[in-house]
Amino acid sequence: MGRYQRKTDRQSWSQESMAGAIQEVLEGNMGYRRASKAYSVPQTTLERKVKEARQKKLSSEAAAVKMLGRYKTVFSEAQEKEFVQHLIHLEERLFGITLSDLRTLAFELAEKNNIPHVFNTEKRMAGKDWLYGFLKRHPRLVLRYPEKTSIARAK
């Protein structure tokens, strides 16, 4: 999360190579060992992903998705995109939003839509790590403190 520095080389394989290896094993063209060497992916991971693809009837691309860590994003990509569009709309209307306002809005959005989250329920705000990750994912978003706006900037 947030400012964490990675200390391991786990999951250094690409999703494309894992998807290719899964596809080869599912089609029966290669075994686990040969596919893992050909596509440079860990054999045990390949075995687990193929088993998951067979049980859940997933495509090779869907089964190859990386999942490291226990934290998952709170909002889906579509929800986050819609949230960003709303914030940009507010910016265009010269309605400045502070960082704490954004954290509160994110908490309220998750609560109203019954989205499971790990936000602080006492403060009723999203965490700072969520905020920094959100701003990093959406660099186009510029939040500024609400202040008087000149006519020149309004046009």
13, 19, 25, 26 alpha-carbon torsion, rounded to 10°? 150
Here the tokens at position 46 are 């390949």
Higher-pLDDT residue of 67 and 15 is 15
Each residue's pLDDT tens digit, 36-49: 999 999 999 999 99
pLDDT at 54 over 70: yes
Mean of per-residue pLDDT scores for the chain = 86
Higher-pLDDT residue of 103 and 97 is 103
Region 90-104: mean pLDDT is 86
Predicted confidence at residue 151, as pLDDT, reads: 66
pLDDT at 133 over 60: yes
Instruction: Please give the model's pTM, rounded to 2 decimal places.
Output: 0.56
Buried residues in 109-141 as b, exposed as e (16+ CB within 10 A): bbeeeeeebebeeeeebbbeebbebbeeeeeee
Predicted confidence at residue 69, as pLDDT, reads: 65
Predicted confidence at residue 142, as pLDDT, reads: 78
**Domains, in order of start, for the chain:** 15-64 (1.10.10), 77-137 (no CATH)
Taking the C-alpha atoms of residue 29 and residue 35, their distance in angstroms, rounded to an integer, is: 9
Q: Give me the sign of the Cα torsion angle 110, 115, 118, 121.
A: positive
Each residue's pLDDT tens digit, 138-152: 888 877 776 766 666
